[in-house]
C-alpha cells in the first residue's frame, strides 16, 4: 500500500496536509482544488480513503411557521445558519419546539441551534441530547451556553439620537409582545427598555405614545390606527420591526397622513420590502443572516475540535439605514 509521502509527492503537498485531508480534519483550511488533488492521488495509488461520517445538527424554532412568514427576521436568521451548514455538508433536522415527537427525533444529534425565546428549563432539557447548544436571539442568565444577540441598546440609541438631530421631541413606540416558550411569561424586549432609557436621557416626550401587540404588519396597522383615533400623535414613530412599520405606514396613508411630511417613521430589521414602500423606510439594519452563520460556525467548529463551545454572550452591531421616511422639522419650530 502506498505511503502518505508517496501521495504527498504526487499531489505536491506536505505529508501533514495529506494526513489531515484523508482523516477528514474539518479544521484544515485548504482549497477544493488541493483537496481533490490529494484524493485523486490517493485513489491513483490505491490508498484507502476514509469515508467521512455525516455531522447532524438540529435547528429548533421557538416560533410558528405563520410567525416566520409574517416577520422575515427569523426566516433570515434560519437561512443564515442553513447556508453555512449546507456548504459544509452538515445534515440539518428542523423542528418547532412544541413538536410532539421531538424527543425521539433528537436522538443522534451532534449539536443544536435554538432560534428564538427559549426558557432555561427548556434549554436544560435539551442538554440530555448534547452539550453543544447555541442560542440565537436569546440571552439566559446566568450565561451557560453560547448566546448570540443583537446590540439593541446601541441600535435604539442611534435611532433616538438621529430623530433628535432632526428636531423630533415627541416620539412614539410601536412594539411586539413575545412569550417565553408556550408560557404566559412575557419576554422583555430590550428595544422597549432602551427606547424608554434614551427618551428620558434626551428629554423626549414618549409616555403617551407607547403601544404593543404582535410583530406583524396587521398589528402595526391596528396600533397606528388606535393612536390616530386618540388624536394625540407624536412627530415620529419608532417601530420595533419593519413589518410593524409597514403596517403603521399603511394606516397613516389610509387616514390621510403623509409620511414624512406629517409624521416620520423608523423601522427595525432592514427587510427587503422596505426598499419598495412609499416612501422607502428609514430603518435599522440587523445582521440576522450573519448571526445565523456565526452560530452555525461556532457549533460546526466545536465538532472539529471535539469540544463544547465555551460559555459566551456575543452582541452583533446594528446600524441605521437612512432612506426617505424621516423629516427634518428643525426649521418648522
pLDDT band at residue 121 using 50, 70 and 90 as cut-offs: confident
- Alpha-carbon distance of 295 to 203, in angstroms, equals 38
86-112 mean pLDDT:
83
Contact 271/77 with Cβ under 8 angstroms?
no
53/124: higher pLDDT: 124
pLDDT at site 136: 95
76-80 mean pLDDT:
94
Going along the chain from its start, the domains and CATH numbers come out as: 56-150+288-318 (3.40.50.2300), 152-285 (3.40.50.2300)
Residue 10: C-alpha distances to residues 18, 59, 108, 254 (Å) = 11, 42, 39, 72
In this predicted model, what pLDDT tens digit does every residue of 155-169 receive, in sequence order?
Answer: 999 999 999 999 999
Please check the confidence at residue 27 and state whether its pLDDT lies above 80. no
132-144 mean pLDDT:
88
In this predicted model, what pLDDT tens digit does every residue of 246-272 receive, in sequence order?
Answer: 999 999 999 999 999 999 999 999 999
pLDDT at site 179: 81
84-88 mean pLDDT:
93
pLDDT at site 182: 65
pLDDT at site 26: 60
DSSP H helices in the chain = 4-11, 15-22, 32-44, 65-70, 72-87, 102-105, 120-126, 152-165, 190-201, 217-229, 242-254, 288-304
Please check the confidence at residue 333 and state whether its pLDDT lies above 60. no
Please check the confidence at residue 238 and state whether its pLDDT lies above 80. yes
Contact 126/114 with Cβ under 8 angstroms?
yes
Please check the confidence at residue 183 and state whether its pLDDT lies above 70. no
pLDDT at site 23: 77
Q: Retrieve residue 53's grid coordinates.
A: 461520517
Amino acid at each position: 500500500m502506498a505511503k502518505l509521502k508517496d501521495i504527498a509527492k504526487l499531489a505536491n503537498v506536505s505529508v501533514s496536509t495529506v494526513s489531515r485531508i484523508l482523516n477528514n480534519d474539518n479544521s484544515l483550511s485548504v482549497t477544493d482544488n488541493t483537496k481533490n488533488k490529494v484524493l485523486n492521488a490517493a485513489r491513483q495509488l490505491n490508498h484507502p480513503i476514509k469515508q467521512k461520517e455525516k455531522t447532524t445538527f438540529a435547528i429548533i424554532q421557538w416560533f410558528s411557521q405563520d410567525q416566520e412568514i409574517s416577520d422575515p427576521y427569523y426566516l433570515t436568521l434560519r437561512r443564515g445558519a442553513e447556508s453555512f451548514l449546507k456548504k459544509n455538508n452538515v445534515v440539518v433536522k428542523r423542528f418547532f419546539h412544541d413538536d410532539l415527537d421531538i424527543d425521539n427525533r433528537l436522538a443522534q444529534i451532534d449539536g443544536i441551534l435554538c432560534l428564538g425565546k427559549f426558557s432555561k428549563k427548556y434549554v436544560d432539557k435539551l442538554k440530555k441530547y448534547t452539550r453543544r447548544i447555541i442560542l440565537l436571539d436569546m440571552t439566559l442568565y446566568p450565561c451557560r451556553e453560547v448566546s448570540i444577540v443583537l446590540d439593541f441598546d446601541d441600535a435604539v440609541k442611534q435611532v433616538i439620537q438621529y430623530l433628535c438631530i432632526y428636531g423630533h421631541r415627541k416620539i412614539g413606540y410601536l412594539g411586539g409582545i413575545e412569550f417565553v416558550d408556550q408560557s404566559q411569561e412575557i419576554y422583555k424586549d430590550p428595544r422597549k427598555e432602551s427606547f424608554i432609557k434614551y427618551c428620558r436621557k434626551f428629554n423626549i416626550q414618549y409616555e403617551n405614545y407607547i403601544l404593543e401587540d404582535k410583530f406583524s404588519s396587521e398589528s402595526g396597522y391596528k396600533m397606528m390606527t388606535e393612536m390616530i383615533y386618540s388624536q394625540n400623535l407624536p412627530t415620529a414613530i419608532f417601530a420595533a420591526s419593519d413589518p410593524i412599520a409597514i403596517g403603521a405606514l399603511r394606516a397613516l396613508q389610509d387616514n390621510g397622513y403623509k409620511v414624512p411630511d406629517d409624521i416620520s417613521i423608523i423601522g427595525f430589521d432592514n427587510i427587503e420590502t422596505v426598499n419598495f414602500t412609499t416612501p422607502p423606510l428609514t430603518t435599522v439594519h440587523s445582521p440576522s443572516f450573519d448571526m445565523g452563520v456565526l452560530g452555525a460556525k461556532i457549533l460546526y467548529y466545536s465538532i472539529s475540535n471535539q469540544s463544547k463551545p465555551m460559555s459566551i454572550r456575543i452582541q452583533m452591531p446594528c446600524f441605521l439605514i437612512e432612506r426617505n421616511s424621516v423629516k427634518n422639522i428643525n426649521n418648522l419650530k
